[in-house]
Amino acid sequence: MNNNISNGVKKIVFSGVQPSGVLHIGNYFGALQQWVDMQDKYGCIFCVVDYHAITVKQDPRQLNKNIINTVRAYLASGINPERSIIFQQSDISAHTELAWILNCIARISDLNKMTQFKEKSGDSRENVGVGLFAYPVLMAADILLYNTDAVPVGEDQKQHVELSRALARRFNAQFGHTFKIPEAIIKKESARIMGLDNPAKKMSKSAASPANYIALTDKPEVAAKKIMRAVTDSGKEIKFNIVKRPAIANLLNIYALLAGKNIKTLEREYAGRGYGDFKKDLGKVTGEFLSPWQKKYYSFSDEEIKKILKAGAEQARPLAKATLIKTKKNLGLI
């Protein structure tokens, strides 16, 4: 058993990624990198949220591969299964059980407010699956099952974590103290990496075109090409202005994160030089990040990953069960 978590000394971190496509640098900087840094201080639980992925259509074979590859990305980024629990959501039935219970206290008006649902359902709001609508309730169940203190995520998930807090409070008020109130942890600089083809929208795994993102598995030369083709603003200066020049601001932000440099320093380095130079260098810096990451990524076998998931589920299951039993007792089900 992972002592960090079972002995109750350390605070608990819970987070997850949907295995719904290739992971990109937005996922890395918004989530994975933060997770790695939190492993010292917290007891960490990292989930592959496969039930969330099926809220939109998935090819079964590809989904199966994506589940394994998501774990592979966790490991390549530095998540250590000896220190953190890594598991697959659908392996622990308490997640869907608690989601059902929380569905009974969540209101349609709560879910109607969710920006991500509005974006994902678009004009076909009446025709998307019920699962897509109820998705944030399952996310609340994920978080609340583990007495989570902190949820490190990108900006786009903030509203969902807030809903988890609201549901926990509402449940506690009606049925007695059951859930800890979790807090979202969002890193300012990496909270929202925008699409290379459209800096008005976030970089996304499910984007229509791969030109939208730098996948963590893109070959360095492919990533460099995507950067050269990335949308730029009018004007020539390499200056950070998120409102007037969102495209170059996004690229500057990515550069700063990849190179571990300050945006002001980059502005100075590129003063009087054009986009061409800047993008070429950004391509190089990206390759220098991707190459060692990918070497690690490809070093883990499927078998190894399956073992990690199995061991992780065995560690997480009793924790989830304890919360579920407490919840059922407070509801009068037991």
Q: Which residues are catalytic?
A: 120, 202, 205
- Work out whether 203 is an interface residue with ligand TYM (CB under 6 A): yes
- Measured on CA atoms in the order 17, 20, 22, 26, is the torsion positive or negative? negative
Residue 155 assigned to a binding site: yes
Q: Which helix (H) or strand (E) holds 319?
A: helix 302-331
- The Cα–Cα gap between 249 and 256 comes to 10
Closest residue by beta carbon to ligand TYM: 30
CB of 40 to ligand TYM, least distance (A): 20
Choose between 49 and 305: whose C-beta lies nearer to ligand TYM.
49
Report the number of secondary-structure helices (H) and strands (E) in the chain: 15, 5
Which is closer to ligand TYM, CB of 146 or CB of 270?
A: 146
Q: Return the number of other C-beta atoms located less than 10 Å from residue 264's C-beta.
A: 11
Q: How far is the CB of 26 from ligand TYM (least distance, A)?
A: 3
What's the DSSP call for residue 24?
Answer: B
CB 315 within 8 A of CB 5: yes
Nearest approach, Cβ of 205 to ligand TYM (angstroms)?
A: 7
Binding-residue pattern over the window 123 to 162 for ligand TYM, x denoting contact by CB under 6 A: ----------------x--xx-------x-xx-xx--x--
- Does position 180 interact with ligand TYM (CB under 6 A)? The reply is no
- Residues 107, 166 contacting (CB under 8 angstroms): no
User: What sign does the dihedral 115-119-122-125 (CA atoms) show?
Assistant: negative
| Positions that interact with ligand TYM (CB under 6 A) | 14-18, 26-27, 30-31, 49, 52, 139, 142-143, 151, 153-154, 156-157, 160, 190-193, 202-203
What residues are designated binding site for ATP? 18-20, 26-27, 154-156, 193, 202-206
